[in-house]
Chain A
């Protein structure tokens, strides 16, 4: 303990500042891992053992890749929290029907390759977890569920309601009383009402892909991460906003429906939009640096999501959306660098004289 003996020094070096305006990467990753574990716990509660097994295999693959990388570099440390988070995310984006052994090898090989080809944590231009899922889709396309939305469905006002009626999204036992209570209270005040089934969709979509399931938990996680400053809201808001607008207006227009009647809820609650907007879209090192760049990146994510994933229920659309955005990011960063150089040149000319530097 500091101060026990005369002249006791610190056991570690402290450098300024001693008060930070942001959360550390280590702490943020730890909290993200904890919040992802809540979703894993829900898989356990809902007896989704195959999904848990797939996620476990992906986590093991990621940790083994990390260990192999560390052994190669002769750095024997406890695995990085980044590898844990990447492993869990990759596992949760894979369908529970995927063979677990294949998951382990795909994750292990892709993560190792990603580390050597693109650089380690935060040095890679692409999200390793997303690249892994893309590789898994190429290898085992049949394991991924097919698109449930048809052109006919998109022409009607509430395609999600039709899907609930058809039993694609099962209605849970507690749904009718909760819906009724909400309609009588909160929605009643606003003079609107929602049909049975939406609460179930928010709570658990029962998708074979675990990341697409627990939307409410993802929403609560996002509130915690954004409010505590561990993650920035800028990119997710631009992403979800632009995607939502396109689904609402452009989707029905393209499919021959009435513009302005697109189903935003279906697009957000299915296909992993919420999950990826919180945990994946702004993975460290993959985003532009300036506010303007981040806004463009977020909006482009929304555009890609609309073009690739459509209006919802796509099993792998969101993964390729993130990949496309990751590819676009270095281009945005190049433009940022050019603008930075111009601004810096102007600033140098203006300020060096004011600072008395010749």
Chain B
């Protein structure tokens, strides 16, 4: 565990409220928006698309029935199917749409569906059809409908909602929780109905003002507090630990790894998708960094380039040397300013050259900092040497890689700047592919 303060952008430069981003003239929508899954394009060059029209779906005969569909974020004409690099570095096909024509949802009255009468199977189908992705684990986003189906084998199902960010250098979920608590609460109730949950747990920062629990709900709803600066407070194991410690009554005593873990962003989307009937065509992105004169929480259309976000924040006052997506500890560095916003993008930070970290590698200096900081009590240095072809580790050490939560603390304290976390994760993936799990 390491104390990492939650960093908000300079308050003077921060927008007071979440604001709608400008509409981009051109959007590029990648067809891969989930971890390990890629949709097929349903449109071709020259097609006219409506706002919210399905443009990407699983190919016929795909084993998985409930991946999140991909929708056109704007009305317009398909310019081309292009090769595009997603924020996570994956390359794949994307649909490039030029904004044209009238909007289906923008400026129109919302539906206000009574979701309480919808059967759970219908909700799950709608979550899949309208493209909701669970962004609890941002490096591995998965269709929420798929995850709901996956937890149905469990007898007592708990829905766990994280109201803050797993990466303390990103504040999207914290801001959303303070701005849209009612929508997030409703989204959680809808999800709980979809999965037939026995209880809902909201986990929030110890400073977060907890609303009064409505006793009228059909299932127990609890709010649990955690100190979010104690990284990695936003990970499954740490959350389970605090729930077990705080809530000692049924059904919360039954919480385990197979329950559904989700976040404020996803619950906000669930509310919009089911209650308002609008598919996932936009999302809230926290834009920050020292290269733009302003920063804030922007509601951005999927497929908008990060360059366009910078323009809304007043353009670049300092040339960016890197664009970091989804936080400085767990995020990725986007390959270019034309990288599009996808369903799993929560934050974009424009970093000037002066703020780039020194990543010059040296040999392991055996300082032991990675061991001392690891919340799972692993020995990342031993695993790194094993994975990088150095001293082989015993089977027990190699097996311990399965416990790694990929929090990246070992990386962040390593003075030799070695890719320790990546190496441990590689060992973990190798074992999983060999069928250990």
- Return the chain B residue nearest A24 by Cβ: B358
The answer to whether A19 and B357 touch across the interface, beta carbons within 8 angstroms, is yes
Of the listed stretches A164-172, A243-251, A285-293, A318-326, name the one at the interface; the rest are far from the partner chain. A285-293
Contact B413 A2 (CB under 8 A): no
A273 shortest CB reach to chain B, Å: 23
Bound-state CA distance A222–B240 (Å) is: 43
- Select which of B321, B376, B436 is within 8 A of A347 by beta carbon: B376
- Which among A120, A290, A351 is the interface contact of B372 at CB below 8 angstroms? A290
- Report chain B residues within 8 Å CB of A28: 415
Contact, CB under 8 Å: B416 / A25: yes
Query: Size of chain B's interface in residues, with CB distance under 8 A?
Result: 67
Q: CA of A330 to CA of B2 in the docked complex: distance in angstroms?
A: 28
For B100, the chain A residues whose CB sits under 8 A away are none
Instruction: Give Cα distance in the complex from A122 to B414, angstroms.
Output: 14
Query: Given the complex, which residues of B lie within 8 Å of A122, measured CB to CB?
Result: 362-366, 416
Give the complex CA separation of A209 and B329 in angstroms: 46
- Flag if A7 contacts B336 (CB, 8 Å): yes
Main secondary structure of the interface of B (DSSP, over half): loop
Q: B338 — nearest CB in chain A belongs to which residue?
A: A7
* Interface contact B403-A8, CB-CB below 8 Å: no
CB-CB contacts below 8 Å: B360-412 with A: 360, 362-369, 371-373, 376-379, 381, 396-397, 399-400, 402-403, 408-409, 411-412
Whether B357 lies near A20 (C-beta < 8 A) is yes
With an 8 Å Cβ cutoff, the count of chain A residues facing the other chain is: 50
Shortest CB-to-CB span from B418 to chain A, Å, is 10
B422 proximal to A (CB < 8 A): yes
Q: What's the Cα separation between A23 and B415 when bound, in Å? A: 6
Question: Are B333 and A2 in touch, CB under 8 angstroms?
Answer: no
Q: Is B237 an interface residue (CB 8 A)?
A: yes
Q: A2-B320, A8-B336, A344-B377 are in contact. Are A22 and B369 (CB under 8 A)?
A: yes
Chain B residues, CB < 8 A from A17: 328-330, 357, 408, 411-412
A18 touching B324, Cβ below 8 Å: yes
Q: Taking the nearest CB of chain B, how far is it from the CB of A80, in angstroms?
A: 8
Q: Is B92 an interface residue (CB 8 A)?
A: no
Contact of A26 with B by CB under 8 A: yes
Of chain B, the residue at the smallest CB distance from A232 is B367
In the bound complex, residues from chain A placing their C-beta under 8 Å from that of B240 are 354
Q: Tell whether B248 is near chain A: CB-to-CB under 8 Å.
A: no
The verdict on A192 contacting chain B, using a C-beta distance below 8 Å, is: no
B4 touches A24 (CB 8 A): no
* Docked pose: A288 CA to B366 CA in angstroms: 8
Q: Which residues of A contact B338 (CB under 8 A)?
A: 6-7
CA distance A344 to B365 in the complex (A): 22
B417 contacts the other chain (Cβ, under 8 Å)?
Answer: yes
A190 to chain B: closest CB distance in Å? 35
- In the complex, which residues of chain B have a beta carbon less than 8 angstroms from the beta carbon of A10? 322, 333, 335
- Let me know if A355 is at the binding interface, CB within 8 A: yes
The listed residue (A18, A26, A348, A358) touching B403 by CB distance below 8 A is: A348
A–B Cβ pairs within 8 angstroms, 5 of them: A1-B319, A3-B316, A23-B415, A25-B415, A123-B363
B interface with A by C-beta (< 8 Å): 2, 4, 169, 237, 240, 256-258, 307, 316, 319-322, 324, 328-333, 335-338, 351, 356-360, 362-369, 371-373, 376-379, 381, 396-397, 399-400, 402-403, 408-409, 411-417, 419, 421-422, 436-437
Known: A2-B319, A26-B358. 15 other contacts (CB 8 A): A10-B335, A14-B359, A16-B408, A16-B421, A17-B330, A22-B369, A22-B415, A25-B365, A26-B360, A27-B358, A122-B365, A123-B363, A343-B377, A347-B403, A356-B258
